Each structure stands twice: as structure tokens, then as C-alpha cells.
Amino acid sequence: MKTFAEFGLEPKILQAITELGFEESTPIQDQAIPIAMSGRDLIGQAQTGTGKTAAFGLPLISKISKEEDRIMALIMTPTRELAIQVAEEIGKLSRFKGIRSLAIYGGQDISRQIRSLKNKPQVIIGTPGRLLDHINRKTIRLTDVQTVVLDEADEMLDMGFMEDIQSILKLVPEERQTMLFSATMPANIQKLAHQFLNNPEHVSVIPKHVSAPLIDQAYIEVPERQKFEALSRLIDMESPDLAIVFGRTKRRVDELSEALQKRGYSADGLHGDLSQNQRDAVMRKFRDGSIDVLVATDVAARGLDVSGVTHVINFDLPQDPESYVHRIGRTGRAGKEGTAWSFVTPREMDHFHFIERVTRHRITRKPLPTMAEAIEGKQRITAERLLETLEKGELNEYKGIAIQLLEQYDSVQLLTAAMKLLTGEKKDSDIHLTPEDPMRAKRRKPDIRSGRKPSGSYGSRNGSTSGSSTGGSNYRRDRDSSGGGSRGGYAGKSSYNKDGGAGRDSSARTNKPRPSSSTSSSSRPAKRPDSSFE
Ligand SMILES: Nc1ncnc2c1ncn2[C@@H]1O[C@H](COP(=O)(O)OP(=O)(O)OP(=O)(O)O)[C@@H](O)[C@H]1O
Ligand SMILES: [Mg+2]
């Protein structure tokens, strides 16, 4: 760990870092910042929540002059919410230096973006489709770009952005610096690296486990039809400050957030079929704590940094181990602890063990919380709220009536009644969730059956700046070989697309804003239940 001053960053940037409360650099920052400052291409891998944004953001900002009136740096992200968040972090880091940055993403009024572009931002943070749209309209020119970052690089590849990225990078000068970052770097990232990077340095601070160390991981074996009861008991028992619940499909997210609301939880849903205004509103509510539970598809799995998220719950198991790592990584960030729970139906045990194996983490099995534990959890919270109110004081207005009541009734009984009222009865409303198909174990390739461990992306290159990730994650290779990226090696894959479409009516799907360019949409494999991220 270093102090940021040791990187030779200018005072105005150091001032911003101090203001953000960063005291020491994180390991990925230690390793990546000097290389990035030197101008070399870089592939950076480090656990979720360990400050990769600043690792690429600080060197990028330090190279740009305030006087520039051209786009000097381009950061691409797979989702809109992440583009917004990264733009905010870049904004904070460059505040005193006076660098102008702008998020460019689908779903937002394009003429508004065009107006903002007139302010001559030096840093653009965008999703590929909308970027291409601007490029085609000639509202964005990339001919002066010196630095390109692909955040969540493996996800961009996975979502089928390869062609879009190719088209975009063709327009960026070749003598640029290019950096790829993610917590997971499957072997096929080499394809990206090969094409777009020039003799990159690999920085990997993944120790033994790819998942972040401060996350307590557990699973509950539960049949599909009992999942909702399990969820409400779990939330009651654990009383999270903020929780993210991941569902497999958009329909699932809609049904689940509605069901939670019916039961009296403060929850809302996020997925790719909502309008951007709705998406923004949900994220705003979650960030300011006006909802406690965010129910989301994998659109929220990558990169999102919301402080106070104490719990991640995989209501449905994710499709692949990477997604598991990123989903649970929404908690346990920046040195804080977090808890991740996964619901596993009996038929999904093989798939779950596969996730355990690839992530090299044994996940503790826990029993379904009992009704008594759930009630106890709720009562504990009520007692805490009561005591907080007591400590805050300003209770005089209520004293008169309290004294009167105490003269007439037994104090224990009175308090008990007050607690009951505060805790609230569980509303026994009619909850119906459409069952989801189980997530199946992938078909094994011979090299896995022969006992070779999946390697490469989760390797134990222990803090080194090693050569490359050859060797590779086996299951990624399966996925590639089984259908050009649009179909994977997972037996149940075809159902995801079907469910994804069925989640909303087709008019909702056509709402999905697409870039006008023909380059971007048709070639994209619709491999996820919620592929309308960007
Ligand atoms: N040196 C630091 N000291 C304290 N906090 C930091 C430091 N660097 C970054 N942070 C904070 O840590 C949090 C996580 O950072 P960031 O979002 O960059 O993580 P990440 O590695 O990109 O994670 P993910 O893989 O999930 O995208 C942010 O709130 C960020 O402001
Ligand atoms: Mg990140």
C-alpha cells in the first residue's frame, strides 16, 4: 500500500483523492497506476470492489490538460448504470483539475447528449451502441483519443459487443493507450487483447479466490416453490441495510419485486425493459436508501458500487461462475464486509458445485431460516428502532399519554403491544411467482472430466505481473466451441432466451432503444435473459 502522492499525481488530483477519503491505495492501484502512467497497454484484474475505477481513472485524468477541447479519453462499459457511475467517479477525481467528462448511453434523449457534447468534454464514458450512434451522426469524433479503457472487458465480449468495439476502435488512433479491466478474465479475453492491445502488461492481484475476501458466502437448498418464503424469512432474519436480490429473467424480477412490495418490503425492480427514466429512478431510490431491496437481473451484476449493500441474494442461480463472482461482489466492497446467499434447487446442485469449483470457494450450506428466526430478526429490528428513537430524544410530546397509559396498564404488556404494532404483521397476501426452469450443470468437456481444474482466469498468479492467461478457463472454451458465442455449453441455455422474451410483452421489447446504425444490433447474440443492458 502506498500513499497516492507516491504515484507522482498532481496536487489537484491528490486533493480530490483526499476529499473522497481515500487514504491508501489498493493493491490493484499500486500495480496498475505506475504502468498506466507510463503509457503502456494494460490488462488489469482484481477482485470486485477493490478500486479498479480509480486505477485506470487517475492515470487517465492526469494525462489530460484542462485546456483541451477535444475528446482525449474513451471509457466503454457494458451497462448504462455503470457508464453513469464511472462518469461520476471520473468527475469526482478530476473535480479540482477541471476536466469535463460525459456519460453517453442508450435510452437517454440523444439531442440532450448532443447538447452536452457541445461543452467539449475531454472524457467520454459510454456504452458501445450509443457511442456508435453518435459516431455515425458525427457528433462524436475519436481522432484525438489517446486513452481507451474497456471496463468489464470480459462482459463486453460476452454480450457480443466485439463488433461494435472493433468499429469504434478503428476510429481511434493506433498510437493510443488501451487498458482492459475486470475482476474476471476468462481465456477468450485474449481475443480482445490480441486485436486491440499492443504488447500489454498483465496485472493480476487475484490471490487464491477470485471472489472478494470479505464476503461471507452461504447457500440454502430450497425447492423452487418455496423460494419466496425462504426469501422473506431470510430478509427478516438478516435485516439487511441494503440488499440486492438477483432474479434470472425480467419477468422474474417484475413478479418478485411486486411480491415483496405486497408483503410490505420496501423493494423495487431493475431490468433492461424498463425505460431509462424508470431505471434511473430505481437506482436513485436504492442509492439514497428510500428502498432497501433492489431486485435485478444481471444488468446490476457488474461494476455497480452502492455503499451500504450488506447482502446479495441469488434468488435464482446465475448462468456462469463469472456472473456469480460479480453479483456477490456488489457487497463486501472497499474494505467492508458483506454476506451473499444463494438459493439452490435440488436439481441445480451440480451446477452450483460447478460454480464452487471454478471460483475455488467452498460455500457453506445453511438451513432454511425457521419462522422463529425470522420473527426474532424482525423483533430485533423493532427493538433497535425503538432504542434509536429513545436515544434521539425529543419525546416530550408523547410523555403525557405514556404516563396516563402506564397508570392504567401493565408496563410489559404496553411495550409488547407497541412492539407488535411497530413490527407489523406479515401480510398474507396472495403471492404467485411463475416457476423458472432449473439452471443445469454444463456439459463437461473431456479435459474437465479427466480432472484438470479450470484454470487461467481464476489462477493463482498471486499478485504477479505474469505473462498471460494461457491455459484458460475450460468452460469458456466450451461456450465458444458450441455455437459462435450465441449458444453456450449449458444444457438449459435455450430456455433463457425464451423466458427473457416472455418476461414482458413484445411492445416493451421494441421500446428498447437501439442505435440507428446497422452495425450494432443484428450481430449481437441474445444469449441472456436480459440482454438489453446498454
Ligand atoms: N484507495 C481507496 N481507498 C478507499 N476507497 C477506495 C479506494 N479506491 C477506490 N475506493 C472506493 O472503493 C469502492 C469500489 O471501487 P470500484 O467501484 O472502483 O471497484 P472495482 O474494483 O471497479 O469493482 P468491480 O469489480 O465490482 O467493478 C468505490 O466506492 C471507490 O470509491
Ligand atoms: Mg469496476
Q: What is the pLDDT of residues 187-202, one digit of tens each?
A: 888 888 999 999 999 9
Same domain, 101 and 47: yes
Q: Is residue 516 part of a domain?
A: no
Is any atom of ligand 1 closer than 6 Å to the C-beta of 101? no
| Among the listed residues 87, 121, 85, 119, the one whose alpha carbon sits nearest the alpha carbon of residue 103 | 87
Angle at 519 between CA 79 and CA 323, to 5 degrees: 30
Segment 97-114 shows an average pLDDT of 97
Confidence of residue 39 (pLDDT cuts 50, 70, 90): very high
Q: Is 56 in the pocket of ligand 1 (CB under 6 A)?
A: no
Same domain, 60 and 131: yes
Residue 476 lies in a domain: no
Ligand 2 ion: residues within 5 Å (CB): 52, 303
Looking at the structure, do residues 418 and 271 belong to the same domain, yes or no? Answer: yes
Which of these three, 188, 204, 220, is where a domain ends?
A: 204
419 shares its domain with 392: yes
Q: What is the DSSP string of 171-192?
A: TS-SSSEEEEEES---TTHHHH
Q: End of a domain among 387, 406, 435?
A: 435
Residues 143 and 275 in one domain: no
Span 231-250, pLDDT tens digits: 999 999 999 999 999 999 99
Our answer on whether the CB atom of 54 is closer than 6 Å to any ligand 1 atom is yes
- Model pLDDT for residues 150-182, shown as the tens digit of each residue: 999 999 998 889 999 999 999 999 999 999 999
Mean pLDDT of 341-345: 98
SS3 (DSSP) at 45: strand
Residue 255, all three cell numbers:
413478479
Instruction: Render pLDDT for 252-279 as a digit per residue (tens, 0 to 9).
Output: 999 999 999 999 999 999 999 999 999 9
- The confidence score (pLDDT) of residue 439 equals 87
Ligand nearest to the CA of 300: 1
Contact 151, 82 (CB under 8 A): yes
Q: Which of 156, 333, 336, 337 to mutate to test the pocket of ligand 1 (most atoms within 8 A of CB)?
A: 333
Could you tell me the pLDDT band of residue 450, with boundaries at 50, 70 and 90?
very low
| Whether residues 190 and 259 fall in one domain | no
Q: Are residues 254 and 387 in the same domain?
A: yes
Q: Report the alpha-carbon distance of residue 406 to residue 384 in Å, rounded.
A: 22
In the reported structure, the alpha carbon of residue 287 is separated from the centroid of ligand 1 by a whole-number distance in angstroms of: 16
Q: Are strands 242-246 and 309-314 parallel, antiparallel or unpaired?
A: parallel
Domain that holds residue 158: 4-204
Same domain, 200 and 213: no
* Ligand 1 near 333 CB (within 6 A): yes
Tell whether the model's pLDDT for residue 489 goes beyond 60: no
Ligand at shortest distance from the CA of 52: 1
How confident is the model at residue 431, as a pLDDT? Answer: 85
Residue 309 belongs to some domain of the structure: yes
Cell representation of residue 176 = 493510443
Q: Are the C-beta atoms of residues 524 and 161 closer than 8 Å to each other?
A: yes
Residue 187 domain flag: yes
Please give the pLDDT value at position 479: 25
| Same structural domain, 354 and 248 | yes
Region label for 421, one of left (φ > 0), alpha (ψ between -120 and 50) or beta (otherwise) = alpha
- CA of 29, closest atom in ligand 1: 1
pLDDT for position 231: 98
Q: How far apart are CA 96 and CA 107, in angstroms?
A: 30
pLDDT digits (tens, 9 = 90+) for 307-340: 999 999 999 999 999 999 999 999 999 999 999 9
Residues 337 and 398 in one domain: yes
Range from 105-109, 172-176, 418-422, 439-443 carrying the lowest mean pLDDT = 439-443
Using CA positions, which residue lies closest to atom 22 of ligand 1? 52
Q: Which atom of ligand 1 is least distant from the CA of 26?
A: 1
> Of 402, 435, 468, which residue constitutes the final position of a domain?
435
Ligand 1 atom with the shortest distance to the CA of 21: 4
- In the chain, the amino acid numbered 222 is V
> Is 80 exceeded by the pLDDT of residue 130?
yes
ipTM of the complex: 0.99
Q: Does 377 score more than 70 pLDDT?
A: yes
Is the CB of 156 inside a 6 Å radius of any atom of ligand 1? no
pLDDT tier at 430, thresholds 50, 70, 90: confident
Q: Does the pLDDT at position 459 exceed 80?
A: no
Output the residue whose Cα is nearest ligand 1's atom 10. Answer: 51
Question: In this structure, are 121 and 257 located in the same domain?
Answer: no
Closest CA to ligand 1's atom 8? 51
- Percentage of residues of the chain with pLDDT beyond 90: 73
Give every CB contact of residue 193 below 8 A, 6+ residues apart in sequence: 43, 180, 200
Q: Name which residue leads in pLDDT, 397 or 441.
A: 397
3-class SS at 364?
strand
Residue 85 Cβ < 6 Å to ligand 1: no
Q: What would the grid cell of residue 328 be? A: 456477490
Q: Give me ligand 2 centre to Cα 52, in Å.
A: 5
440 within a domain of the structure (yes/no): no
pLDDT at 452 > cutoff 90: no
* pLDDT at residue 440 in the model: 79
Please tell me the total count of domains within the chain.
2
Q: Does ligand 1 come within 6 angstroms of the Cβ of 158?
A: no
Residue of minimum CA distance from atom 1 in ligand 1: 25
**Cα 220 to Cα 243: distance, rounded to the nearest angstrom:** 17
Residue 517, domain member (yes or no): no
Same domain, 57 and 109: yes
Mean pLDDT of all residues in the chain? 84
Query: Does the residue 270 lie in any domain?
Result: yes
Ligand located closest to 53 CA: 1
**Structural domain contains residue 332:** yes
Proximal ligand: closest to the CA of 33:
1
Q: What is the pLDDT of residue 425?
A: 74
Mean pLDDT of the region 81-98: 98
